[in-house]
């Protein structure tokens, strides 16, 4: 008797494929499955070959992504379907079985960018439209979505980031690891670091925007797609922007333009500046352990300096606005 797979395959239902393709279910077939990289939050991701016959009798082939997902990812994929953009994945089907939630998505051919690559402007423009849509309306989203609040910040600085530093130090102990642990401990009590979620309005976030989660069409280098929404949460908008786009970058300019187009008004200047400063400080601190584990000690000092400088900027902006 064959062994039960550790992560059973996701059902790819012909009826859902037929609705997506606009054909009769009897004209749809599925073929081989090929494993895809699943990231840290999904135990199973596969590319599934699909065949179909169009209304004119012309056969064609395409592919979809079948993925074991978390509940938050399913919720967010349903929500982003209402945002006008082609830089987000298209949800075809979703459900749950004895092994948990699953989704079937459109497949975007291409390759992921380098982890520290500059992201295409279309990604930031799409995020701006998403953020603007849900700004101030995050309370209407399901309560189960994780939220960036003071408790989340303390956990990130006391447990999540230090865990990575400890792991890196066990393999190759360096003085910069001690510096990181000292700063993370101090920042976990720093009122400036904890004030961000209180003074910056919340919206719907992707939660893990960086090069490895952006697939670009290998044919022409365009049509980027922001994948892997398993870290989706509710929090200040700049958490999706600051770590990959500085305030003088083309990506940040694209974000501001798209926001103004969507809102018919520019993004509040203080919110943009303060949000970017806080998100740079907190986001850099939160991920410094992961960087130390994956890339060694060399970048850690630079990240700590970057986080400290951004926290000082945020403190000045807080005081100038009467929040200090």
What pTM value is reported for the model? 0.90
Residue spans of beta strands (DSSP E) within 54-201: 59-68, 91-97, 100-106, 111-112
How much of the chain exceeds pLDDT 90, in percent? 75
Q: How far apart are CA 155 and CA 194, in angstroms?
A: 11
Start-to-end Cα distance in the chain: 67
Q: What is the pLDDT of residue 1?
A: 41
Q: Give, as one character, the DSSP assignment of residue 57.
A: S
pLDDT in tens, 94-126: 999 999 999 999 998 888 898 888 899 999 999
pLDDT in tens, 306-323: 999 999 999 999 998 877
Residues of the chain with CATH 3.30.200.20: 14-107
pLDDT in tens, 241-287: 999 999 999 999 999 999 999 999 999 999 999 999 999 999 999 99
For residue 16, the number of C-alpha atoms closer than 13 Å in the C-beta half-sphere is 16
Q: How far apart are CA 98 and CA 301, in angstroms?
A: 45
52 bridge partner residues: 28, 60
CATH topology of domain 14-107: Phosphorylase Kinase; domain 1 (3.30.200)
Residues of the chain with CATH 3.90.1200: 112-320
Residues 63-87 have a mean pLDDT of 90
CATH topology of domain 112-320: Aminoglycoside 3'-phosphotransferase; Chain: A, domain 2 (3.90.1200)
Residues 59-82 have a mean pLDDT of 91
């Amino acid at each position: 008797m064959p062994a039960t797979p550790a992560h059973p395959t996701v059902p790819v239902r012909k009826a859902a494929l037929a609705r997506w393709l606009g054909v009769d279910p009897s004209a749809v077939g599925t073929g081989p499955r090929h494993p895809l990289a699943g990231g840290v939050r999904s135990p199973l991701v596969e590319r599934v070959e699909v065949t179909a016959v169009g209304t004119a009798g012309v056969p064609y082939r395409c592919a979809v992504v079948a993925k074991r997902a978390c509940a938050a990812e399913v919720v967010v994929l349903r929500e982003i379907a209402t945002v006008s953009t082609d830089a987000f994945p298209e949800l075809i089907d979703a459900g749950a079985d004895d092994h948990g939630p699953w989704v079937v998505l459109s497949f975007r051919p291409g390759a992921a960018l380098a982890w520290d690559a500059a992201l295409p402007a279309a990604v930031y423009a799409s995020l701006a439209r998403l953020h603007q849509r849900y700004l101030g309306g995050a309370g209407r989203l399901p309560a189960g979505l994780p939220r960036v609040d003071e408790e989340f910040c303390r956990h990130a600085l006391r447990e999540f980031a230090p865990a990575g530093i400890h792991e890196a130090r066990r393999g190759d102990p360096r003085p910069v690891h001690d510096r990181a642990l000292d700063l993370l401990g101090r920042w976990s009590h720093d009122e400036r670091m904890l004030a961000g979620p209180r003074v910056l309005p919340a919206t719907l976030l992707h939660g893990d925007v960086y090069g490895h989660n952006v697939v670009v069409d290998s044919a022409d280098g365009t049509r980027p797609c922001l994948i892997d929404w398993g870290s989706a949460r509710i929090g200040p908008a700049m958490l999706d922007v600051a770590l990959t786009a500085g305030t003088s970058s083309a990506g940040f300019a694209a974000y501001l333009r798209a926001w103004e187009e969507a809102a018919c008004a520019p993004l509040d200047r203080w919110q943009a500046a303060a949000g970017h400063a806080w998100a740079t400080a907190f986001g850099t601190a939160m991920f410094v352990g992961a960087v130390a584990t994956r890339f060694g000690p060399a970048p850690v000092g630079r990240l700590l300096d970057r986080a400290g400088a951004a926290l000082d900027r945020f403190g000045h902006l807080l005081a100038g606005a009467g929040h200090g």
